């Protein structure tokens, strides 16, 4: 049996041909699955009963749906999706003034082991399938109240999306296909720790927004907190960003996690401004979100503001992203893939917030 949520339109067209079904069946099925999000083949009412029976012998519609939802005091909702092999990932719905952003996970666990991120602690389990990626969007929809709509999707949850390239690029195509999820390209953002070959491929394959976690201004500091820097050092990363094909009026987002006394000094801000010269970018500063056992601290507000001021004076559009959802372990770097562990992280974050 094959899961229909694992099929791109092109793959489905191939299957339909083999089944000797009319070519338009592919579009019908594809729209039912991704546009209307049906959970049974019987719900595809414009397909004859006989054809549906034939389909049911070969296909099913995957996605166990959200297993559990938890809501933060700031309105951020985190949900856990469990998969048939016992693994689970978390996704986050983040409300904004004029938007509702869905943060999607791309892998169960993560192999990169960034020292400040709790996902890396659990290690890497496996890549998510196209069905598991798409199901996060459909589960989010199922959770929303009737007057709500996801406006933006960010691939910034658990995992490194560019290390699950093939499924992620199919997912991006489905996200931005008006016959499927129908998000415009500029409402979708992929965040990477700096996998250079993946950045190059993405530049050729997709027109979505790119975010890159720079997090440090020299190889020594970056290598200490992001082991991936040994393979893809800063200089090469920066040069890949300079070469990245950007459409008119579009920017690369540079993410910089601020860790107290590690990378939050004024001198570092000056270095960052210099490093990024020549890249059309805006900068998101993310003050460290705590979790139990972390060896880092959240920077002082004064240092965060000073860091931002240096960058703004150097001409960079700079935002300070106080992550939402910290009280339920839903903030950047707090996703562990299990609500049990998430709660432990959440408690420490809430505790930290109280004691600051
Ligand atoms: N692997 C991708 C996407 C997941 S991480 C990447 O590295 O970009 C998403 C963002 O959260 C990254 O910018 C990362 O640097 C940041 N982040 C991770 N842990 C964090 C923490 N504890 N506090 C604040 N930001 C964190």
* pLDDT tens-digit series, residues 4-13: 999 999 999 9
Cα 109–Cα 349–Cα 355 angle in degrees, nearest 5: 160
CB 27, CB 38: distance < 8 Å = no
Is residue 114 flagged as an active site residue? no
Average of per-residue pLDDT values in the chain: 92
Torsion 11-12-17-20 (CA) sign? positive
Domain of 9 in residue numbering reads as 2-60
What kind and span of H or E run contains 289?
A: none
CB 172, CB 184: distance < 8 Å = no
Number of structural domains (the chain) is 2
In this predicted model, what pLDDT tens digit does every residue of 251-292 receive, in sequence order? 999 999 999 999 999 999 999 999 999 999 999 999 999 999
pLDDT of residue 339: 65
Residue of minimum CA distance from atom 12 in ligand 1: 213
Instruction: Give the end of a domain, one of 28, 60, 92.
Output: 60
Q: Domain check: are 79 and 49 in the same one?
A: no
The closest-lying atom of ligand 1 relative to the alpha carbon of residue 211 is 8
**pTM tops 0.85, yes or no:** yes
**Ligand 1 centroid to 154 CA: how many Å?**
12
Say which CATH number the domain at 16 has.
1.10.150.530
d(CA 289, CA 260): 11
Residue of minimum CA distance from atom 9 in ligand 1: 156
Q: Domain check: are 45 and 146 in the same one?
A: no
Q: Domain check: are 161 and 42 in the same one?
A: no
pLDDT of residue 147: 94
What parts of the chain have a pLDDT lower than 70? 64-66, 339-356
With a 6 Å cutoff on the Cβ, whether 156 touches ligand 1 is yes
Q: Domain check: are 70 and 52 in the same one?
A: no
Which tokens go with 223? 């290598």
Helix axes 130-143, 165-175, angle to 10 degrees: 40
With a 6 Å cutoff on the Cβ, whether 15 touches ligand 1 is no
Chain position carrying tokens 């987002």: 253
Instruction: Give the end of a domain, one of 29, 60, 91.
Output: 60
Cα 337–Cα 74–Cα 297 angle in degrees, nearest 5: 65
Q: Domain check: are 206 and 326 in the same one?
A: yes
The closest-lying atom of ligand 1 relative to the alpha carbon of residue 193 is 7
**DSSP character for 47?**
S
User: How far from 63 is each of 33, 60, 131, CA to CA, in Å?
Assistant: 11, 10, 7
CB-based contacts of 147: which residues, under 8 Å, 6+ apart? none
CA of residue 266 relative to chain centroid, distance = 30
Residue of minimum CA distance from atom 7 in ligand 1: 193
Say which CATH number the domain at 269 has.
3.20.20.70
Q: Domain check: are 81 and 33 in the same one?
A: no
Q: Domain check: are 235 and 126 in the same one?
A: yes
Is residue 332 flagged as an active site residue? yes
């Amino acid at each position: 049996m094959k899961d229909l949520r694992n099929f791109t339109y092109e793959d489905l067209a191939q299957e339909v041909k083999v089944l000797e079904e009319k070519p338009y069946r592919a579009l019908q099925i594809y729209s039912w699955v991704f546009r209307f999000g049906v959970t049974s083949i019987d719900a595809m009412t414009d397909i004859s009963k006989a054809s549906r029976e034939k389909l049911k012998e070969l296909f099913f519609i995957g996605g166990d749906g959200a297993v559990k939802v938890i809501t933060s005091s700031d309105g951020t909702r985190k949900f856990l999706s469990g998969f048939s092999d016992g693994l689970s990932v978390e996704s986050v719905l983040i409300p904004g003034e004029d938007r509702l952003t869905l943060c999607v996970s791309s892998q169960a666990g993560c192999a990169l082991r960034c020292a400040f991120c709790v996902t890396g602690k659990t290690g890497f389990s496996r890549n998510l399938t196209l069905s598991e990626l798409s199901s996060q969007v459909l589960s989010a929809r199922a959770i929303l109240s009737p007057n709500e709509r996801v406006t933006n999707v960010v691939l910034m949850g658990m995992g490194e999306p560019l290390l699950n390239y093939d499924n992620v690029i199919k997912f991006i195509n489905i996200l931005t296909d008006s016959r499927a999820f129908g998000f415009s390209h500029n409402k979708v953002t992929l965040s990477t720790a700096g996998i250079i070959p993946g950045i190059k491929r993405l530049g050729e394959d997709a027109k979505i927004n790119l975010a890159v976690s720079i997090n440090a201004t020299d190889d020594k500091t970056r290598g200490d907190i992001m082991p991936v820097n040994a393979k893809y050092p800063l200089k090469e990363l920066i040069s890949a960003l300079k070469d990245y094909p950007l459409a008119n009026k579009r920017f690369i987002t540079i993410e910089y996690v601020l860790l107290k006394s590690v990378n939050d000094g004024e001198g570092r801000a000056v270095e960052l401004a210099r490093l990024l010269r020549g890249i059309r970018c805006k900068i998101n500063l993310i003050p460290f979100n705590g979790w139990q056992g972390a060896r880092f601290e959240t920077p002082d507000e004064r240092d965060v503001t000073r860091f931002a001021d240096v960058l703004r004076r150097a001409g960079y559009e700079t935002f300070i992203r106080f992550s939402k959802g910290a009280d339920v372990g839903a903030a950047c770097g707090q996703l562990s893939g299990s609500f049990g562990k998430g709660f432990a992280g959440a408690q420490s974050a809430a505790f930290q917030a109280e004691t600051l």
